[in-house]
Structure 1
Amino acid sequence: MTIDAVHPWLALFLLANLLAGLWRVLTGPTAADRMLSTQLFGTTAVALLAIEADTRAMPALRDVALVFALLAAITAVAFVRRVWQPREGSK
């Protein structure tokens, strides 16, 4: 089995992960659960774009994947700075 035969199965697995993440976004009891699910969306988008870049031999898609990875990291930092509340008595 070649790697080209595995790409569609990897893409389907990643799309199934997105469905699981969507379920957590809709039912997540806390904002942190929802944020982690959106991080899953970003990570999955990066993985899907990397697979497509390899399958279609389009190196520009790798650049787009890197931009998505950077945006995912920035949104995580923004979420923590905006929502995270320090406990009383801590510095």
Structure 2
Amino acid sequence: MSVHDELTSVQRCLEDLFRSIGRLEQQLGGSGLEMRRVRTDADHLRDSVALLRQAAASPAAPSRPDLVTISDAPYDLSLWTDTDDEGLGARDRRAP
């Protein structure tokens, strides 16, 4: 089976589960802690299947970004002249 077929099958099973939970709530009452937990777990399962469906529908993202090569050559020292040392202020000034 394809992924789409499997997800459709899971969706049908979830619908059956929700119908069964609804019948149980009518018979047992929906105010008990156990029933609320079952309902909450089923809601989480529905949300998870919806996320799976979205992930299966979207095209696959690239596995990793393009690599950038960094040269081993030394930096040009003129890049560092006439600059302030961060956090220390300018060379010819004193801190307050």
Q: Between Structure 1 and Structure 2, which shows a larger proportion of helix residues?
A: 1
TM, length-normalised to structure 2: 0.46
Q: Which has the larger radius of gyration?
A: 2
